[in-house]
Chain A
Amino acid sequence: EADIYQTPRYLVIGTGKKITLECSQTMGHDKMYWYQQDPGMELHLIHYSYGVNSTEKGDLSSESTVSRIRTEHFPLTLESARPSHTSQYLCASSEGHGVGTEAFFGQGTRLTVV
């Protein structure tokens, strides 16, 4: 069973605030990902990492940043939240050794910026 956790589950925050969305996994997976899901359901890759000290930007331009200092932890930070950042954010991880292995997802953080 997948063990990947996101906190908080829900967050309402004012414009201009700095926020960090937490994501941790206990499976020892090298690969981790952040997806943004818009209200129309579509999933957009915003960041990914293939190991410690490795981060890449995804397909969707994002004003967020990520870090990967420990294998198990992949936090996402918004320096100055805006209403356009209102969305669901999904974190995922997958094995580093295998090829084409499935990704396991956390329950998501639903962010509302007012």
Chain B
Amino acid sequence: AQKVTQAQTEISVVEKEDVTLDCVYETRDTTYYLFWYKQPPSGELVFLIRRNSFDEQNEISGRYSWNFQKSTSSFNFTITASQVVDSAVYFCALTSGNTPLVFGKGTRLSVIA
């Protein structure tokens, strides 16, 4: 069975602080795919990143960066110099390929001006 754990239910930071959202996953498959989605107050889930199990290279996109570590089954997401517009619920998700996405319970991030 596949499982995604986001232990942080809610995080509150002051604008310009860095924040890391944790994601730990469980799967018996050797090939799998990890995702992060953002859900702003408007409701739709916005795709942020996809990473496959064979690519442990960390990725940076502007203020966003992702740290994938197979040894600890983690795929953490860091926002540098947070902004109020980053306030949203963030979901980590997992699939083995042809199965529907399994989501974590989400982390609600509030960035205070």
A positions within 8 Å CB-CB of B: 2, 33, 35, 40-43, 45, 48, 58, 88, 90, 92, 99-108, 110
Contact between chains at B103 and A43 (CB < 8 Å): yes
Report how far A27 CA is from B43 CA in the complex, Å: 21
Closest B residue to A38 by beta carbon equals B105
B positions within 8 Å CB-CB of A: 31-33, 35, 37, 42-47, 50, 52, 89, 91, 95-98, 100-103, 105-106, 108
Contact between chains at B100 and A107 (CB < 8 Å): no
Sampled A-B contacts (26; CB under 8 Å): A2-B47, A40-B105, A41-B89, A41-B106, A42-B106, A43-B103, A45-B100, A45-B101, A45-B102, A90-B45, A92-B45, A99-B98, A100-B31, A100-B32, A100-B33, A100-B52, A100-B95, A100-B96, A100-B97, A101-B50, A104-B47, A105-B45, A106-B44, A107-B42, A107-B44, A110-B43
A41/B43 contact (C-beta < 8 A), A58-B100, A100-B52, A102-B35 known: no
Report how far A41 CA is from B45 CA in the complex, Å: 12
Could you tell me the dominant secondary structure of chain A's interface residues? loop
Report how far A90 CA is from B33 CA in the complex, Å: 21
In the complex, what residues of B have CB within 8 A of residue A33's CB?
A: 100-101
Contact between chains at B50 and A102 (CB < 8 Å): yes
In the complex, what residues of B have CB within 8 A of residue A100's CB?
A: 31-33, 50, 52, 95-97
Contact between chains at B50 and A108 (CB < 8 Å): no
Report how far A110 CA is from B42 CA in the complex, Å: 11
